[in-house]
Amino acid sequence: MSHPADRAARDRVPDLPQWVDTRGMLLTGRARVSFLEPADYARDGFVVELASRALLSAVDRPPASLIAERAHGLSGDVNVLCLPDMVEPVAAALPGWRSQGVRLHALPGVMPWEADGDPDVTVFVSADAPALHHIPDALREELEDALAGHPAARFVPGALPPYTPADLSPTPVPVAAAWVEGRPVAFCYPVLQTERWWDVSVDTLEGFRGRGLAPRAARQMVRLMRTRGKSPVWGAVETNAASLSVARRLGFVEAGRLAVFTAA
């Protein structure tokens, strides 16, 4: 039986684009929910964390002491998420940490391109994944972790703690890839998922950017996830102009904003 704090958090975090990361953490079944006890679970602020992804979300103005305790208790390069109206309280709880704005985008509906296919794009899971030895170490490890069941891309990349088998997704994580000359060079996969939404991760190898390959991979993953009843949420820090430009070209429109804090 789940703890009352866990049930309260799921009830209070709605299935909306701006909450895809927080609700996605809760739905993994491996998130930790913390209130300052004794708590009124229906009203008090709380934090949600996923330790293996060094990710924490502050919800409904939790006490500064709780934010600081749980953020400093995580290993790796931590990302702390909050809605814009929580920036000042989180900044006060984490002095010296850097804050960046995040823009979240969603599709306004089913797009015309969803009925078409894209050339030289495939979707694979771990069992049929192609060789990835040509990919730089950091991205290759990220993709291999995702295929293993631990997709962990975040708004601000950094070191993560080791994960265990208990941290892995029970269902295969798909990766869409656009190919050039027999090699996959642009990738898209779902990170956190809710009942209605999935969090987009997309990347292209240096030297192949600006050629429309990332949109191909993203479109194919959108098509696949539509068959599962889920729509994409494309999030990026405000300084990531390239990512936000790709989202707009695909027809995404702004659906919300967040802030992400990282240690200086």
CATH number for the domain harbouring residue 242: 3.40.630.30
Residue 1 has pLDDT above 60, yes or no: no
Please give the pLDDT value at position 2: 73
Averaged pLDDT of the chain: 97
pLDDT at 212 over 90: yes
Which of the listed residues 102, 125, 145 is the one where a domain comes to its end? Answer: 102
63 and 162 housed in the same domain: no
Judge contact between 8 and 43, C-beta under 8 A.
no
Q: Per-residue pLDDT tens for 132-189? A: 999 999 999 999 999 999 999 999 999 999 999 999 999 999 999 999 999 999 999 9
Q: How confident is the model at residue 192 (pLDDT cuts 50, 70, 90)?
A: very high
Same domain membership, residue 227 and residue 119 = yes
Q: pLDDT at position 207, please? A: 94
- Tell me whether residue 134 is in a domain: yes
Predicted confidence (pLDDT) at residue 31 exceeds the cutoff of 60 = yes
pTM of this structure? 0.95
**Mean pLDDT across the stretch 196-218?**
96
Q: Does residue 29 sit within a domain?
A: yes
The whole domain housing 160 covers 112-256
Last residue of a domain, one of 102, 128, 153: 102
Per-residue confidence at 95, pLDDT binned at 50, 70, 90? very high
pLDDT reading at 264 higher than 60:
yes
In the chain, the number of structural domains is: 2
Tell me: do 90 and 119 sit in the same domain.
no
